[in-house]
Every structure is written in structure tokens, then in C-alpha cells.
């Protein structure tokens, strides 16, 4: 198997993450983008994902990707209101230079004409990093099954950690849980 | 997956901005409330809050007077406000109705089990809303289900310690705060008990020291009074020897009675001794006193009178003779002066008659005249004076003689008079003297004493001395006797005090030990609560961060947090944002714009609701959360709402048309069974809001199909 380039690895990992989250994903070639791009769709979102080495590369890719995506959306009349849920996600493997890139980054992010653009820099080709980048399109992480309950169990542990005898800690916590006070402890 | 719906509908009448009754259908997982400011959107959210809690805490601080009306619509003030709703809470279908005014809102609750009213309805509703016993429903609602404008930002603006409490409350950790308070109360209580225990122990020690000293002194006394009984009998025997004159009955049994008898015998003895002394003196005087002779006294008095008369006559005669002599001497002096003058004029003839005169003889006569040798009357006067003086002297001698004879007679009479007076005075005093000597002491010879019988007096005085001495000895004996009893009592006290010391020492040590443990528990509880709270925050942070990044994809300060710490046994929380790359951190209130701070606050609120999981209330009510956010924030928020509405009913309002349109598009149903309601507040009149309600058309087909991505790509 040939060695994948960094951008290709980003796209491959992104595809994997999206598939795990009910997206339909396909890769296509894209003019101006050596690694091509990824098209993904769920019942809520249409995503076009492209990658480059740095922000300058992303600006070049964006120049091809945005019109191409808009063209596709226009040419698909059955989309209905879903066309407003289309995003162009641009990922760079290198970080942005604060002095020179900040303005360009804002320009891309705040350009909401036709399609919303999301830019992510310094992206590692790992599922964790890609989940971070694609977070807006993924469901919120499931809350802790325990919620915020059973604070008293944690309290008991913390009391012991802070030097209280285990029996004493347990006695105080149990008395409070049962009576709501420590008057007779 | 069923569409999560909590509120089916709500009816509002006469409540704040609502005048006429209006029913708002909410039977959808997403409800978008759109309308310009001032058209009643917040009244709608207030109605839901009042229905569930019976209060509008947000407005309480603005009420100046207790009866300021903030519930009832001002154009319908004669009738109470009414809010009704049908809900599904944790699988319970329930219908609620609250009616009331500023001071009271009575709740009615109807569910499958029947109807409840007032407090019982409140309790039942609280049970339904709580996910676990003891949860504060108001806190639960306000911290993760109803986001009022600026409420979450208030958390950021609190003081550090209040912010800590507030955050702990938002995390559902109020009970830990209460535990900490109880632990502190217990530590304070035991500290006071320890203080009291130590004070009791010290007091017991002091008392025991005093008792030990007294017992030691009494033991010493006891050694000195070795045989109290024998001494007492001997004294009683001594008292019986004087029983014919002084009776002490009953014999004193206590040192106090004996001391009274001692005082009485001493005072009486001194009194009677003085009487005896005076009696003796009078008796002695009577012995020395000679009887005076009244006749001789009268005779001598008469003789003296005669002698004094004779002396007076003689003195008068002497004074007359002296005067005659003075006159004769005057006349003689005048004649001598004339004679001296005549001598100078003396010649051979008389200057008067002219006859011849014997000049020498005349001169001699004149010279005699000058020297008074020739004055016979003067001589006679002088003789008369001498004779008168002689008689006066004789009369004086006679007067003195008479006086000398009278003096002893007068002295004898005066002495007799004085004696008689003293005798009368003594008799009177004896007659009236108080001779009672108290309850147990009595004089026998009272009559003789009053009669002034010296022998009885002196015998009684002697007897009283004996009795006084005996009483004094009895005092000492009885004192030593009572010392014995006191010693026994004090020794018993001392034993009790020693036992008390042991007991107090034991209990003081036990309380001190408890106090130390309580202090340790208090310190540990403060740190433990901070630890649990901090751990909760750590656990919550990924969700907060996740939501924050969805709302603001490229913040300069990439992470934010609350630093929780314990300062002077109080938890404090400081909000902090960090630029991890630049290693810079600071307070978001100082660094962030209002819009950014709102994003932080909104992220926390949504994260709290989300992290609560199954404990959370089944709805999220967001009253205009997008204020001052930019387009990117709003787009992120709209996408976030799509995820939220799949877990719990979402009711969100905005006053911005563009955002309203965005929400309509984003929250349009994409799944079978999913519904979205649009509540448009068009305007506000005195009858209440003008509301248009509709259902947002579903886009299920658009969502289901893969239009851009080919189906076979999956």
C-alpha cells in the first residue's frame, strides 16, 4: 500500500470519524487539491472536507472547493432547506502564524456566503483530533451515566484523603444523609 | 426515538404582560419563540417559571414594598393571575394550575393519581421534578433548565466566595454545602463544649485546692482539741458551781449559743461590777462621814453674821475717818500756802491795822503753819483714822474667826448631801437595770442586787466571771467539736471534688478529643467539598469546552475554567481563561467582551444541563440567549440546538428576525415524529401579546436522502 500523504491521512481519518457518526461519506478528486476532498452527508449536515499543509494551501483549496460545493448544491434542487446545512471544512496540518495568518483565518471563517466555512489548523490525523475538528456535526458526547449524583460517595473519599478516619467520615456522611444535620453525632 | 416533549401547552391569563387568556401550544421537541422586544416573550418564560416555582426571584429585588404587585397584569388587577399547563415529567402526565397574586400563588395538580391542592400539590410537583430526594427544585430549574437573560453571567460577576456557592449550587452540590455548614456548626458546638469542659475542670481543681486547705486547717484544729467531750463536761461542772447565783440553762450545744452566753455573761458581769464598785465607794463614804451639827451650824452662822455686820460698821467708820483726815490735810495745806505767802509780806507793822507786830514771833507762827505743826484738827483727824483702823482690824479678825468655825460645819453638811444624792442615783439605776441575760442565762439574786446588797453583787460578779470563762471555754470546745463535723463534711466535699476532677478531666479530655476530631473534620470537609466540587468541574469541563468550541470555533483563549480553592476555611472560585499556546491566563470578565462572556455563560449553562443526564429536567428554556453574539456564534448555537432538542424539549426565544429564521431552518423536523413549533409574538396590546402559532414544516425527506453524496458511497 502506498504511503499516504499527511492531507490524505487527515481526510481518511475524518471519513472514519464521520462514518462512525451516521454520515455517508465519499472521496472525490478536486481541482486544486492534491489529496482531493471528502463529501459527507447526514440527515442534518452536508460536509465538504478538504486538507492542505498550511493555511496558505487551504486558501488555495478554498478557492476551488467553495464554488464547486455551491455548484453542487445548486444543481441538486431536491435538497430543499438542507442546502443551508452545507459546510466546507478546511483542515491544515501546520499551525497558523499568529502575525500573518490571523486575518486570513478570520476572513475565511466569517465568510458565510452560500456556505459556512470552518477552518482547523494544526490538525493531527488522529480520530480524537478529527472529532474535535468535526465536533459541530457530531452529537454531543453522552453525559456521564451517573450524572452529577452521588456526591456523598465522592465526599467520603475526599474526607479520607484529607485526613479523616474512614469510620468517622462514613459516620458523619451517613448521619447527614439520613437526618440532614449532625446535631447528635 | 420519540420526540421529547415536556410542556404540551400552557394557558396564561392576567399574568404580567398577558391580560386575556391565551393558550400556547408547545407540543414539540423544539419551540421557537420569535418577536421584537416588549411583545411578551419574557412574560411567557416568567409564566412557566411561576407555574413551577410560585415565585419570580429575578424580580424580587426590584420590589420596594411588600405589596408591590409583580404577578398580576396591571390591566386586569381585579382578578388573580392564572397559569395552566399540561406536562409530561419523567413519564408522568400532569396538569398544573397556579392562581394568585404577588403574595401567594396556589397550585393545583391533577395527575393519574387524582388532584392535589396547595402545599400537597407543591410537594408532589417537587417530587416529580427532582431526580433525587433533597434536591433544590428552584436551583435545579434555574441552573440547568431555565436560562433567563443574564442570570448565568451573574455567576461570573459574584464575589469569589458567593461564586463558589453559586457554582456548587449549579453543580447540584448544595447538599455538600449544607454538610459543610453542619460540620462547622458541630465543630463550633464541640469547641464551646470543650471550652466549658476545661473551665469546669479548672473550677473543680480550684475548688478542690480550697477544700484541701480547709481540711488541712480543720485537721490541725482537731489535733488541738483532742478530747472535746471531757472538756465540755468539765466546763458544765464549773458552771454548776455558780448555779446559786447564775443559772445557765440549757447548757449551749453549739459554739454560737455558747458565744451568746459568753457575751451576755461578760456584759452583765461588767455592769454588775460597776454597780458593786459604786456601792462600795458609797459605803466607804458613809463610814467616813461625820454627822453634822445643825445648831452649831446655825449659831456659827449667826455669829458670823454679827461679826460681818460689826466689820462693816468698822469699815464705814474707818472710811469716814479717812475722809475727815483728807479734809483736814487739805485745809492745813492751804493754810501753809497762805503762811508762806504771808512771810514774804511780813513787816514791822500790820498791813491791816497798822499796829506794830513782833515780826519774829509772827514768822515763827507762820513757819509752824507751813509745816502743819501747829494744826490741832489735823492731828485729831489722824488720831481718828488710826482708831477706826484698829476697830476694823479687830472686826475682821472676828469675822475670820467666825468663818473658820463655820467651814467644817458646812463641809460636813455638803458631804452628807452628796452621799444622799449618790445613794439615790445608785438605787434608781439598780431598780431599773436590765438584768435579763438572754434565753438561757438567768441571775438568781435579782432582788438583792436591786436592793444594792454589796455582798450579793460581788458574789454575783464573781459568779458571772466564772460563767464567762466557762462560756468562753465552751465556745472553743464546741468550735473544735463542730470542726469535727465540718471536717467530715469538708472531707466528703473534697472527696466529691476529687471525683468531679477525675470525671471532668475525663470528660474534658473526651470533649477535647472530639473537638480536635471535629476541627479536623471541618477542615477536611471544606477541602473535601472543594475537592468534590473541583472534581465535578473537571468532569464537566470537557462538555463545557465542547459546547464552547461549537459556539466559538476559534477563540484566542482556548480553554476556560474556574479555579477552586479554600481560603480561610471558605471555598472560593475564580473564573479563568487560558491561551494555552501563549501560556497566558486571566479573568474572563476583565479580558472578554460582553458577547464573549455571554458565550462562556451560555456554554456553562448548557453543559450543566447536558452533564446532568438523566437527572436533568426534561426541558430547556432559553430566553433570548443569543444577545450580542455574532453570526458565527449564532450558527454554532443553531447547530447545537439540533443536538439538544433530541434529548429534551427545547424552548428558545430570540428578538432577532435573522436568528429566528436561522433557527426555523435549523430546527425544522428532519426525523419522523419530530415536530417544531413556531410561536411568533407579533405585537403587544393592553389585551396581551398578539401571538401567531404555527408548526414548522418538516424537512424529513431532505434529511433522509443523500443528495450530494451518492447513496452507494456509504
Distance from CA of B631 to the nearest CA of A (A): 8
Give the DSSP H or E segment for A179: helix A166-179
pLDDT in tens, B232-257: 778 888 878 877 888 888 888 777 88
User: For B558, phi and psi rounded to 5 degrees?
Assistant: -80, -25
Q: What is the percent of chain A with per-residue pLDDT over 90, rounded to a whole number?
A: 29
Q: So what's the pLDDT on residue B693?
A: 95
Q: Give which of A136, A161, A168 to mutate to test B binding, by max B Cβ within 10 Å.
A: A136
pLDDT in tens, B530-578: 888 777 777 777 888 888 888 876 555 566 666 666 666 666 667 677 7
Alpha-carbon separation of residue B510 from B194, B501, B506 (angstroms):
9, 14, 6
Question: Which residues, at least 6 apart from B672, have a Cβ–Cβ distance to it below 8 Å?
Answer: B700
Residue B650: pLDDT band with limits 50, 70, 90: very high
| Contact present, B400 and B377 (Cβ < 8 Å) | no
Distance from CA of A2 to the nearest CA of B (A): 22
Question: Does domain A6-137 match CATH 3.40.91.50?
Answer: yes
**A56 has pLDDT over 80:** yes
CA angle B239, B240, B246 (to 5 degrees): 70
Residue ranges, comma separated, of all CATH 3.40.91.50 domains in chain A are 6-137
A182–B183 C-beta distance less than 8 A: yes
Q: Give which of B642, B708, B711 to mutate to test A binding, by max A Cβ within 10 Å.
A: B708
Integer Cα distance of B177 and B139 in angstroms: 13
CA angle A53, A56, A58 (to 5 degrees): 65
DSSP-derived secondary structure letter, B72: B
Integer Cα distance of A91 and B284 in angstroms: 149
Per mean pLDDT, which range of A39-43, B280-284, B291-295, B638-642 is the poorest? B291-295
Preceding peptide of B374 cis, ω within 30°: no
Question: Which residues, at least 6 apart from B467, have a Cβ–Cβ distance to it below 8 Å?
Answer: B239, B242, B246, B248, B261, B265, B269, B441
Q: So what's the pLDDT on residue A1?
A: 39
| Contact present, B3 and B31 (Cβ < 8 Å) | no
Select the more confidently predicted residue: B345 or B468. Answer: B468
Integer Cα distance of B301 and B400 in angstroms: 12
A80–B699 C-beta distance less than 8 A: yes
Number of domains composing chain B:
1
Select the more confidently predicted residue: B680 or B486. Answer: B680
Integer Cα distance of B262 and B280 in angstroms: 26
3-state SS of B273-306 is HHHHHHHHHHHHHHHHCCCCCHHHHHHHHHHHHH
Q: So what's the pLDDT on residue A177?
A: 80
pLDDT in tens, B411-453: 888 888 888 888 899 999 888 888 887 777 888 888 888 888 8
Integer Cα distance of B186 and B168 in angstroms: 22
Grid coordinates standing for B269? 458581769
Integer Cα distance of A48 and A43 in angstroms: 15
Distance from CA of A184 to the nearest CA of B (A): 9
In a domain, B328, yes or no: yes
Q: So what's the pLDDT on residue B503?
A: 84
Integer Cα distance of B483 and B528 in angstroms: 63
Helix (H, G, I), strand (E, B) or coil at B461: helix
Q: What is the mean pLDDT of chain B?
A: 82
Q: Which residues pair with A117 in a beta bridge?
A: A88
Helix (H, G, I), strand (E, B) or coil at A117: strand
Q: Which residues pair with B560 in a beta bridge?
A: B577
Interval B588-604 mean pLDDT: 73
3-state helix, strand, coil in chain A (%, to 5): 50, 20, 30
Q: So what's the pLDDT on residue B605?
A: 79
Q: So what's the pLDDT on residue B109?
A: 95
What is the chain A residue with the closest CA to B188? A183
Residue B27: pLDDT band with limits 50, 70, 90: very high
**B21 has pLDDT over 60:** yes
| Contact present, B136 and B577 (Cβ < 8 Å) | no
Integer Cα distance of B404 and B304 in angstroms: 10
B176–A151 C-beta distance less than 8 A: yes
Q: So what's the pLDDT on residue A30?
A: 86
Q: So what's the pLDDT on residue B568?
A: 60
User: For A137, phi and psi rounded to 5 degrees?
Assistant: -100, -5
Q: So what's the pLDDT on residue B714?
A: 47
Integer Cα distance of A54 and A101 in angstroms: 10
Q: So what's the pLDDT on residue B7?
A: 94
In a domain, B155, yes or no: no
A158–B543 C-beta distance less than 8 A: no
- Alpha helices, DSSP H, located in B563-630: 588-591, 594-611
Give the DSSP H or E segment for B339: helix B294-345
Strands of B511-569, DSSP E: 559-567
**B1 has pLDDT over 60:** no
Q: So what's the pLDDT on residue B471?
A: 84
**B677 has pLDDT over 80:** yes
Sheet holding B92-100, edge to edge: B22-25, B7-13, B81-89, B92-100, B105-111, B114-117
**B160 has pLDDT over 90:** no
User: For B562, phi and psi rounded to 5 degrees?
Assistant: -115, 125
pTM of the predicted structure, to 2 decimals? 0.60
B612–A147 C-beta distance less than 8 A: yes
B699–A81 C-beta distance less than 8 A: yes
What is the chain B residue with the closest CA to A140? B643
User: For B443, phi and psi rounded to 5 degrees?
Assistant: -90, 140
Among the listed residues B129, B98, B124, B122, the one whose alpha carbon sits nearest the alpha carbon of residue B113: B124
Integer Cα distance of B377 and B86 in angstroms: 171
B527–A155 C-beta distance less than 8 A: no
Grid coordinates standing for B412? 460636813
Q: So what's the pLDDT on residue B626?
A: 75
Candidate from A79, A147, A173 with C-beta closest to B707:
A79
Q: Write the DSSP assignment of B116-146 as a string of letters.
A: EETHHHHHHHHHHH-SSTT--HHHHHHHHTE
Among the listed residues B175, B173, B154, B167, the one whose alpha carbon sits nearest the alpha carbon of residue B58: B154
Select the more confidently predicted residue: B490 or B154. Answer: B490
A145–B646 C-beta distance less than 8 A: no
Alpha-carbon separation of residue B504 from A131, B200, B204, B210, B511 (angstroms):
68, 7, 8, 17, 10
| Contact present, B576 and B587 (Cβ < 8 Å) | yes
Grid coordinates standing for B336? 501753809
Task: Specify whether the backbone of B566 is left (phi greater than 0), alpha (psi in -120 to 50) or beta.
Answer: beta
Grid coordinates standing for B75? 390591566
Cell 445548486 locates to A74
Q: What is the mean pLDDT of chain A?
A: 84
Burial label for B91, CB within 10 Å (0-12, 13-18, 19+), is exposed
Partners of A25 on chain B (C-beta within 8 Å) are 709, 713-714
**B153 has pLDDT over 70:** no
**B69 has pLDDT over 90:** no
Per mean pLDDT, which range of B260-274, B362-376, B465-479 is the poorest? B362-376
Candidate from B553, B666, B670 with C-beta closest to A43:
B670
Distance from CA of A181 to the nearest CA of B (A): 6
In a domain, B157, yes or no: no
Rg of chain B, C-alpha, whole Å: 67
Integer Cα distance of B32 and B676 in angstroms: 8
DSSP-derived secondary structure letter, B490: H
Candidate from A84, A136, A173 with C-beta closest to B550:
A136
| Contact present, B94 and B87 (Cβ < 8 Å) | yes
Structural domain boundaries, residue B402: 289-434
Q: So what's the pLDDT on residue B443?
A: 87
Residue A3: pLDDT band with limits 50, 70, 90: very low
Q: So what's the pLDDT on residue B608?
A: 78
Q: So what's the pLDDT on residue B5?
A: 81
Interval B296-324 mean pLDDT: 90
B708–A46 C-beta distance less than 8 A: yes
Strands of B163-318, DSSP E: 246-248
Interval A144-170 mean pLDDT: 81
Per mean pLDDT, which range of A2-6, A70-74, B216-220 is the poorest? A2-6
Q: So what's the pLDDT on residue A34?
A: 81
DSSP-derived secondary structure letter, B558: -
| Contact present, A106 and A80 (Cβ < 8 Å) | no
Partners of A79 on chain B (C-beta within 8 Å) are 702, 707-708
Integer Cα distance of A123 and B650 in angstroms: 33
**A2 has pLDDT over 60:** no
Among the listed residues B539, B585, B700, the one whose alpha carbon sits nearest the alpha carbon of residue A143: B539
Q: So what's the pLDDT on residue A4?
A: 58
Q: What is the percent of chain B with per-residue pLDDT over 90, rounded to a whole number?
A: 22
Strands of B476-569, DSSP E: 559-567
In a domain, B382, yes or no: yes
Per-residue buried b or exposed e for B662-677, using 16+ beta carbons within 10 Å of the residue's own CB = bbbbbbbbbbeebbbb
Partners of A152 on chain B (C-beta within 8 Å) are 175-176, 179
Which of A29-38, A70-79, B269-278: highest mean pLDDT? B269-278
pLDDT in tens, B80-130: 999 999 999 888 899 999 999 888 899 999 999 899 999 999 999 998 888
In a domain, B307, yes or no: yes
CA angle B182, B186, B187 (to 5 degrees): 115
Partners of B631 on chain A (C-beta within 8 Å) are 110, 112
Partners of B521 on chain A (C-beta within 8 Å) are 159, 164, 168-169, 172
| Contact present, A134 and A38 (Cβ < 8 Å) | no
Integer Cα distance of B557 and B79 in angstroms: 53
Rg of chain A, C-alpha, whole Å: 25
Interval B469-476 mean pLDDT: 83
Amino acid at each position: 500500500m502506498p504511503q499516504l500523504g499527511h492531507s490524505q491521512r487527515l481526510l481518511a481519518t475524518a471519513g472514519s470519524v464521520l462514518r462512525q457518526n451516521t454520515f455517508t461519506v465519499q472521496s472525490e478528486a478536486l481541482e486544486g487539491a492534491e489529496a482531493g476532498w471528502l463529501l459527507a452527508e447526514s440527515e442534518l449536515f452536508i460536509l465538504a472536507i478538504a486538507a492542505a499543509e498550511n493555511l496558505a494551501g487551504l486558501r488555495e483549496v478554498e478557492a476551488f472547493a467553495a464554488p464547486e460545493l455551491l455548484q453542487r448544491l445548486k444543481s441538486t434542487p431536491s435538497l430543499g432547506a438542507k442546502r443551508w446545512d452545507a459546510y466546507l471544512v478546511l483542515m491544515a496540518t501546520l499551525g497558523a502564524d499568529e502575525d500573518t495568518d490571523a486575518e486570513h483565518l478570520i476572513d475565511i471563517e466569517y465568510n458565510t456566503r452560500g456556505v459556512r466555512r470552518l477552518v482547523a489548523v494544526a490538525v493531527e490525523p488522529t480520530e480524537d483530533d478529527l472529532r474535535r475538528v468535526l465536533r459541530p456535526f457530531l452529537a454531543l458526547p453522552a453525559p456521564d451515566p451517573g450524572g452529577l449524583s452521588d456526591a456523598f460517595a465522592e465526599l467520603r473519599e475526599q474526607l479520607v484523603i484529607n485526613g479523616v478516619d474512614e469510620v468517622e467520615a462514613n459516620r458523619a456522611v451517613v448521619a447527614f444523609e439520613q437526618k440532614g444535620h449532625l446535631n447528635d453525632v | 426515538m420519540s420526540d421529547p416533549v415536556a410542556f404540551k401547552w400552557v394557558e396564561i391569563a392576567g399574568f404580567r404582560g398577558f391580560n386575556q387568556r391565551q393558550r400556547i401550544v408547545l407540543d414539540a421537541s423544539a419551540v421557537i419563540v420569535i418577536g421584537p422586544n416588549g411583545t411578551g416573550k419574557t412574560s411567557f418564560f416568567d409564566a412557566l417559571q411561576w407555574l413551577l416555582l410560585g415565585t419570580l426571584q429575578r424580580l424580587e429585588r426590584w420590589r420596594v414594598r411588600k405589596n408591590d404587585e409583580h404577578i398580576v397584569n396591571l390591566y386586569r388587577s381585579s382578578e388573580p393571575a392564572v397559569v395552566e399547563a399540561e406536562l409530561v415529567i419523567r413519564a408522568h402526565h400532569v396538569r398544573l394550575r397556579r392562581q394568585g397574586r404577588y403574595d401567594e400563588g396556589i397550585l393545583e395538580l391533577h395527575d393519574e393519581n387524582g388532584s392535589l391542592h396547595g402545599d400537597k400539590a407543591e410537594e408532589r410537583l417537587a417530587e416529580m421534578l427532582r431526580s433525587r430526594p433533597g434536591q433544590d427544585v428552584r436551583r435545579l430549574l434555574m441552573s440547568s433548565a431555565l436560562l433567563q437573560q443574564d442570570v448565568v453571567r451573574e455567576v461570573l460577576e459574584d464575589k469569589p466566595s458567593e461564586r463558589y456557592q453559586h457554582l456548587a449550587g449549579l453543580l447540584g452540590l448544595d447538599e455538600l454545602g449544607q454538610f459543610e455548614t453542619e460540620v462547622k456548626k458541630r465543630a463550633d458546638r464541640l469547641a464551646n463544649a470543650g471550652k466549658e469542659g476545661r473551665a469546669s475542670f479548672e473550677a473543680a481543681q480550684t475548688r478542690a485546692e480550697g477544700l484541701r486547705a480547709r481540711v488541712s486547717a480543720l485537721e490541725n484544729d482537731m489535733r488541738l482539741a483532742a478530747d472535746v467531750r471531757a472538756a465540755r463536761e468539765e466546763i458544765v461542772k464549773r458552771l454548776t458551781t455558780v448555779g446559786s447565783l447564775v443559772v445557765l440553762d440549757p447548757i449551749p450545744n453549739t459554739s454560737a449559743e455558747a458565744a451568746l452566753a459568753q457575751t451576755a455573761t461578760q456584759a452583765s458581769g461588767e455592769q454588775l461590777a460597776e454597780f458593786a464598785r459604786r456601792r462600795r465607794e458609797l459605803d466607804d463614804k458613809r463610814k467616813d462621814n461625820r454627822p453634822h451639827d445643825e445648831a452649831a451650824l446655825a449659831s456659827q452662822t449667826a455669829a458670823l453674821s454679827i461679826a460681818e455686820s460689826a466689820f462693816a460698821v468698822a469699815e464705814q467708820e474707818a472710811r469716814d475717818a479717812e475722809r475727815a483726815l483728807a479734809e483736814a490735810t487739805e485745809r492745813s495745806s492751804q493754810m501753809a500756802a497762805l503762811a508762806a505767802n504771808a512771810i514774804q509780806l511780813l513787816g514791822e507793822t500790820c498791813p491791816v491795822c497798822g499796829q506794830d507786830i513782833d515780826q519774829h514771833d509772827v514768822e515763827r507762827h507762820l513757819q509752824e503753819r507751813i509745816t502743819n505743826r501747829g494744826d490741832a484738827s489735823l492731828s485729831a483727824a489722824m488720831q481718828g483714822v488710826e482708831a477706826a483702823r484698829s476697830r476694823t482690824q479687830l472686826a475682821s479678825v472676828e469675822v475670820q474667826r467666825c468663818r473658820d468655825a463655820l467651814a467644817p460645819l458646812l463641809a460636813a453638811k455638803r458631804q452628807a448631801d452628796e452621799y444622799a444624792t449618790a445613794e439615790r442615783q445608785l438605787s434608781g439605776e439598780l431598780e431599773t437595770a436590765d438584768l435579763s441575760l438572754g434565753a438561757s442565762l438567768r441571775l438568781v439574786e435579782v432582788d438583792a442586787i436591786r436592793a444594792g446588797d454589796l455582798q450579793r453583787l460581788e458574789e454575783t460578779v464573781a459568779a458571772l466571771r466564772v460563767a464567762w470563762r466557762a462560756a468562753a471555754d465552751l465556745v472553743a470546745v464546741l468550735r473544735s467539736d463542730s470542726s469535727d463535723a465540718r471536717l467530715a463534711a469538708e472531707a466528703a466535699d473534697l472527696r466529691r471534688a476529687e471525683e468531679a476532677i477525675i470525671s471532668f478531666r475525663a470528660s474534658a479530655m473526651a470533649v477535647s478529643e472530639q473537638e480536635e476530631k471535629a476541627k479536623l473534620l471541618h477542615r477536611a470537609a471544606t477541602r473535601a467539598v472543594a475537592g468534590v466540587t473541583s472534581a465535578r468541574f473537571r468532569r464537566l469541563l470537557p462538555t463545557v469546552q465542547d459546547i464552547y468550541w461549537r459556539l466559538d470555533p476559534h477563540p484566542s483563549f482556548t480553554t476556560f475554567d474556574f479555579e477552586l480553592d479554600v481560603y480561610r476555611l471558605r471555598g472560593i472560585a475564580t473564573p479563568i481563561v487560558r491561551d494555552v499556546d501563549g501560556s497566558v491566563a486571566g479573568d474572563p470578565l476583565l479580558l472578554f467582551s460582553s458577547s464573549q462572556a455571554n458565550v462562556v455563560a451560555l456554554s456553562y449553562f448548557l453543559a450543566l444541563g447536558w452533564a446532568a443526564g438523566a437527572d436533568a429536567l426534561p426541558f430547556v428554556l432559553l430566553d433570548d440567549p443569543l444577545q450580542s453574539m455574532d453570526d458565527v456564534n449564532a450558527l454554532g448555537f443553531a447547530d447545537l440546538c439540533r443536538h439538544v432538542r433530541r434529548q429534551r424539549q427545547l424552548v428558545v426565544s430570540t428578538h432577532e428576525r435573522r436568528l429566528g429564521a436561522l433557527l426555523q431552518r435549523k430546527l425544522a423536523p428532519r426525523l419522523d415524529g419530530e415536530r417544531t413549533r413556531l410561536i411568533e409574538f407579533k405585537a403587544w396590546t393592553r389585551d396581551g401579546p398578539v401571538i401567531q402559532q404555527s408548526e414548522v414544516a418538516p424537512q424529513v425527506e431532505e434529511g433522509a436522502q443523500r443528495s450530494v453524496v451518492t447513496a452507494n458511497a456509504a
